[in-house]
Amino acid sequence: MKNLLAFALVATLGISAQAQNKNAKHDLHVKGNCEQCKERIEKAAYAVKGVKVATWDVDSHNLHIVLNETKNKVDAVENAVVAAGHDTNDKRADDKVYDNLHSCCLYERDEEEGEHVTETSPKKEEDHTNHQH
């Protein structure tokens, strides 16, 4: 009888362990412009417990992550990236944090309700000699 109980317990633990994905791959669209953005976005993602891989592509704006879902959720990664000043498809960074990014990192933001973007002044070219891209 004890052997049967031990077997049932081991079988139950094995099934529940398989239901949790330790290497879940996810992709998030994260806005940014340059290598400085890349460093900031990846650093924010890696700060989340359970993130094993975080790679942001400058051209596609895709953040590829591998996450141990037994330790955290994708939402935690998205929240960390937004807290660092970068919008995603579903969440918007706080305006004060966004405004404090380096001028070359100020990506084009989507309009919020009631806000109107005008094209009255041309985009100013930035001097990038003092930091890496």
∠ CA 121-58-117, rounded to 5°: 25
Backbone angles phi, psi at 120, to 5 degrees: -75, -30
- Give the sheet arrangement for strand 51-56, strand by strand: 24-29, 62-67, 51-56
- Tens digits of residue pLDDT in 33-92: 999 999 999 999 999 999 999 999 999 999 999 999 999 999 999 999 999 999 999 999
53 found inside a domain = yes
Task: Determine the Cα–Cα distance for residues 46 and 84; give it in Å rounded to an integer.
Answer: 12
Structural domain contains residue 5:
no
Report if residue 26 sits inside a domain. yes
User: Domain total for the chain?
Assistant: 1
Structure confidence by residue, pLDDT tens digits, 18-34:
456 889 999 999 999 99
The residue range of the domain holding 92 is 21-105
Q: Residue 62 belongs to a domain with what CATH number?
A: 3.30.70.100
Q: What is the DSSP string of 80-100?
A: HHHHTT--BSS----HHHHHT
Is 119 within the bounds of a domain? no
